[in-house]
Amino acid sequence: MLLLCQLKKKCALPTRHARDRANHAKEATKTTYYGLVVLAGLGMLGAMAYTLFGELFASFSPQSVYSDAAQLCINNTRVQDLIGSDSIKCYGEETRRGRRQHVSHLKYVLEGQRGMRIKFYLKGNRKTATAQLDAREGENGWYYRYLVVQVDTYPHQVVMIQDNRGSERDGEVSLAAGGDLNSFVSIADANPAPELTPLFPSHR
């Protein structure tokens, strides 16, 4: 009887060891799988963060150009006089519910030179206005071809904050007070563009 029990124990021992090895293998496989999933997720997050921060902090990015233009508009005394100087806000397109979304922009390349058009809105304590700009990247950094603001209500006064078109072929184009901003942009744009595309959050 004792001999029979010993034989059973000896036979069961390899079976138990085999089960243990199989369980360890399964656990190792699970650990490896979850580790790969985590690494893939971290890689995707890293790529998204790189793209986002590269867009935000690049010297010639929609966000940097918009931020600079917004400050120029807010600090312009003529703009302050027209729409009110108390807490001027710059923002993007509005939804049907009145929520302010993104600032529209359009990138383009003309004769090997990168350019960008941006449209945004201003709100003072008296009136609202629309701003449009065209910026180009030059040898010494980017510059404004033009930055113009037009009050949304009649008589639609216009403030030309920047106008560096110089000797370009459209250099004679001008926007007189009371003119149409959209017509000016269409004429001044050397390469007419499609609808502007929202991309990044607006300033509040």
pLDDT score, position 151: 96
pLDDT score, position 171: 38
Closest among 181, 97, 100 to 146, alpha carbons compared: 181
For the chain (length 204 residues), average pLDDT per consecutive 10? Answer: 54 60 72 71 58 55 94 96 92 70 87 93 95 92 94 94 72 45 55 46 41
Distances (CA, A) of 3 to 6, 12, 13, 188: 5, 14, 16, 103
Which neighbouring-strand residues pair with 53? none
pLDDT score, position 133: 96
pLDDT score, position 130: 96
CA separation for the pair 62, 65 (Å, rounded):
5
> Does the predicted model carry a pTM greater than 0.85?
no
pLDDT score, position 36: 72
pLDDT score, position 63: 92
